[in-house]
């Protein structure tokens, strides 16, 4: 189309020059032809210059108005420019969305050039490393020697460094360097404080289990070797065999507690929750405690709360049993162990009080940790595994309950399970009236009565 218009303009110009030659003179015809060609060249040059100027800066300049043979070309260029601007706008919008998403990531991302200068960083990285400007060496912001050493290693290898940042005390961070092309690297900073704590707990747990099993295993191996190599009399043989039996029972309790704790941590459902006759359960546990203690302690049972609660029966029973077992182990002969059940502050309180050796204040914050013992030698003498209170704590977490510990060294301890109000069932749901049970004292196999009436000491506690 453009060449047709150019040919028409040229024919028109030649026609005018021919007419001038015929009617006027050859000189005028030549001048007219030259002027026409010059005008065409000037117009074409003007349009060409305008298009060239626009092409140099298409985003900042406007195409000249089309005329003649240039109109269609300029229209096409205008359409192409508009489409290009639209594509650029879409790309800019997409990049902005990606940048906003990357800025919301909790991990810090930094792009480094071949000289390890910061090319770009997201907001998390800027906060973590106090990056306030680009094109600055990264070691101006992260100055730990182990990180500087990693920067100078082979850039093609994935490198991971764990360190603490000076302006983030108490937190542990993992820095990873990834190769990103021939001239860039990507530095990722991630907060792994919780993971580091879990790793430390796992390591301590394995070490503690190994230590706890090694002691009875060593004793069993030593006594077994003695029995094999020495000719002992019957009394000595029975003594050694008794020691082997006690140590094997300790190992059995340890394994059983570990399996219980593992099962509690794996299981998250509440499918086994049911209504529990708490009076019946506490009476049964009182009988067990008397059998475990024998005549060494005075056992008291004080019931002054609703008869029935909602819980997982086996787990709640296990929690109370662990508290009672500890009370028997750490209460000297002649002491008193009291089991109480009452409602306080809209919560159900199951309390185990003893007059034992007590716990010093510095031990109370850690007393429910796995394998934590106030007195390791005494705990081993009594057959403790160091997992009882950890099991209790885990059970109570599954019941949205809490363990309250009050103790004074040399004067005894009180461990209280605090059940939330929603787990307490009304008296109308009970199988029998609590007053009837409270008014009927049971006999003690060791000769003393079981106290089952409300005690002012519990109400004032």
Q: Out of 191, 218, 251, pick the residue that ends a domain.
A: 191
pLDDT over 90 percentage in the chain: 15
**Full domain range(s) for residue 357:** 274-460
Of 151, 169, 191, the domain-final residue: 191
Is residue 382 predicted with pLDDT exceeding 70? Answer: no
Q: What is the 3-state secondary structure (H, E, C) of 58-100?
A: CCCCCCCCCCCCHHHHHHHHHHHHHHHHHHHHHHHHHHHHHHH
Are 294 and 405 part of one and the same domain?
A: yes
CATH of the domain at 283: 3.30.565.10
Looking at 25-69, list the stretches that DSSP marks H as alpha helix, in order from N- to C-terminal side: 26-56
- Over range 362-381, report the average pLDDT: 68
Please, what is the average pLDDT of the chain? 77
Q: Judge if 316 and 261 occupy the same domain.
A: no
pLDDT of residue 435: 36
Where is average pLDDT lowest: 214-223, 257-266, 276-285, 329-338? Answer: 257-266
Instruction: Report the relative pairing of strands 298-304 and 185-191 from DSSP bridges.
Output: unpaired
pLDDT at 360: 85
**Band of residue 152 on the pLDDT scale cut at 50, 70, 90:** confident
On whether the CB atoms of residues 345 and 307 are closer than 8 A, the answer is: no
Same domain, 313 and 424: yes
Is there a contact between 402 and 274 (Cβ–Cβ < 8 Å)? no
Looking at per-residue pLDDT, the higher value among 28 and 436 belongs to: 28
Residues 299 and 398 in one domain: yes
Say how many domains are in the chain: 4
Nearest to 339 by CA among 327, 329, 356, 330: 327
Residue range 364-374: average pLDDT? 75
Say whether both 162 and 114 belong to one domain.
Answer: yes
pLDDT tens-digit series, residues 88-105:
888 888 888 888 888 888
Question: What confidence score (pLDDT) does residue 394 get?
Answer: 86
Question: Which are the contacts of 455, defined by CB distance < 8 A and separation ≥ 6?
Answer: 302, 304, 340
Q: Pairing relation of β-strands 298-304 and 336-344?
A: parallel
> In this predicted structure, which of 31-35, 201-205, 360-364 has the lowest mean pLDDT?
31-35
Residues 447 and 313 in one domain: yes
Q: At what angle do helices 2-23 and 26-56 cross, to 10 degrees?
A: 160
Helix (H) or strand (E) holding 435: helix 434-438
pLDDT of the residue at 173: 92
More confident residue, 49 or 158: 49
- Is the CB of residue 239 less than 8 Å from the CB of residue 249? no
Distances (CA, A) of 359 to 149, 331, 365, 406: 49, 12, 11, 9
Given a cut of 80, is residue 212 above it in pLDDT? no
Residue 8 has pLDDT above 80, yes or no: no
Residues 116 and 175 in one domain: yes
Q: Is the pLDDT of residue 122 over 70?
A: yes
> Which tokens in the block code for residue 232?
């002992």
Nearest to 412 by CA among 288, 285, 298, 294: 298
Between these two residues, 459 and 337, which has the higher pLDDT value? 337
Q: Which of 266, 291, 312 is the last residue of a domain?
A: 266
Per-residue confidence at 370, pLDDT binned at 50, 70, 90? Answer: confident
Residues 85 and 16 occupy one common structural domain: yes
The winner for highest mean pLDDT among 67-81, 117-131, 354-368, 380-394 is 117-131
Residue 282 in this model has a pLDDT that exceeds 60: yes
**pLDDT of 417 higher than 90:** yes
Is residue 9 scored above 70 in pLDDT?
Answer: no
Report how far residue 96's alpha carbon sits from residue 443's, in angstroms, rounded to the nearest whole number. Answer: 80
**249 and 284 inside one domain:** no
Question: What CATH number did the domain enclosing 149 receive?
Answer: 3.30.450.20
Tell me the average pLDDT across 429-447. Answer: 39
Residues in the chain: 461
Question: What average pLDDT does the segment 349-368 reach?
Answer: 87
Statement to judge: residues 441 and 295 lie in one domain = yes
pLDDT band (50, 70, 90) for residue 156: low
What pLDDT is recorded for position 155?
53
In the numeric block, the tokens 């071949």 are attached to 114
Give 443 or 186, the one with higher predicted confidence: 186
Asked if the model's pLDDT at residue 438 lies above 60, the reply is no
Tell me how crowded residue 375 is: count the other CB atoms within 10 A of its CB: 14
Least confident of 151-165, 232-246, 427-441: 427-441
* CA–CA gap between residue 302 and residue 340 (Å, rounded): 5
pTM reported for the whole predicted model = 0.53
The total of other beta-carbon atoms located within 10 Å of residue 366's CB is 10
- 401 shares a domain with 372: yes
Token pair in block for residue 2: 């453009």
Task: Let me know: does 369 contact 261? Beta carbons within 8 Å.
Answer: no
- Collapsing DSSP to helix, strand or coil, 388 comes out as helix
Q: Same structural domain for residues 58 and 84?
A: yes
Q: Mean of the pLDDT values across residues 372-398?
A: 71
CA distance 411 to 334: 13
Q: What percent of the chain has pLDDT over 70?
A: 72
């Amino acid at each position: 189309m453009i060449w047709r218009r150019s040919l028409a303009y040229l024919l028109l110009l030649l026609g005018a020059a021919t007419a001038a030659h015929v009617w006027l003179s050859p000189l005028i015809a030549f001048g007219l032809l030259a002027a026409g060609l010059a005008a065409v060249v000037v117009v074409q040059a003007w349009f060409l210059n305008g298009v060239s100027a626009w092409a140099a800066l298409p985003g900042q300049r406007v195409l000249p108005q089309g005329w003649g043979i240039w109109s269609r070309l300029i229209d096409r260029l205008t359409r192409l420019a508009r489409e290009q601007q639209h594509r650029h706008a879409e790309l800019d919008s997409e990049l902005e969305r990606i940048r906003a998403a990357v800025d919301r990531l909790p991990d810090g991302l930094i792009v480094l050039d071949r000289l390890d200068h910061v090319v770009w960083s997201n907001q998390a990285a800027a906060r973590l490393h106090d990056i306030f400007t680009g094109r600055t060496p990264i070691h101006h912001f992260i100055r730990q020697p182990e990180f500087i050493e990693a920067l100078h290693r082979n850039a093609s290898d994935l490198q991971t460094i764990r360190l603490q940042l000076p302006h983030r005390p108490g937190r542990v961070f993992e820095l990873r360097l990834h190769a990103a092309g021939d001239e860039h690297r990507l530095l990722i900073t991630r907060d792994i404080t919780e993971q580091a704590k879990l790793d430390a707990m796992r390591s301590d747990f394995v070490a503690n289990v190994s230590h706890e099993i090694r002691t009875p295993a060593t004793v069993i191996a030593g006594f077994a070797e003695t029995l094999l190599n020495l000719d002992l009399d019957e009394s000595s043989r029975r003594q050694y065999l008794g020691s082997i039996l006690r140590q094997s029972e300790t190992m059995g309790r340890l394994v059983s507690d570990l399996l219980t704790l593992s099962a509690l941590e794996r299981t998250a459902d509440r499918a086994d929750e049911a209504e529990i006759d708490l009076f019946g359960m506490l009476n049964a546990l009182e009988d067990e405690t008397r059998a475990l203690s024998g005549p060494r302690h005075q056992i008291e049972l004080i019931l002054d709360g609703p008869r029935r609660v909602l819980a997982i029966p086996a787990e709640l029973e296990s929690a109370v049993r662990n508290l009672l077992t500890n009370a028997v182990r750490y209460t000297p002969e002649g002491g008193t162990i009291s089991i109480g059940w009452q409602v306080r502050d809209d919560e159900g309180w199951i309390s185990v009080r003893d007059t034992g050796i007590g716990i010093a204040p510095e031990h109370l914050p850690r007393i429910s940790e796995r394998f934590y013992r106030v007195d390791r030698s005494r705990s081993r003498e009594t057959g403790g595994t160091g997992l009882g209170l950890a099991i209790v704590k885990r059970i109570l977490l599954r019941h949205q309950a809490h363990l309250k510990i009050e103790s004074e060294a040399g004067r005894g301890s009180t461990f209280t399970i605090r059940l939330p109000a929603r787990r307490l069932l009304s008296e109308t749901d009970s199988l029998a009236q609590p007053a009837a049970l409270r008014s009927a004292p049971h006999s003690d196999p060791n000769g003393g009565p079981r106290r089952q009436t409300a005690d002012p000491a519990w109400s004032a506690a």
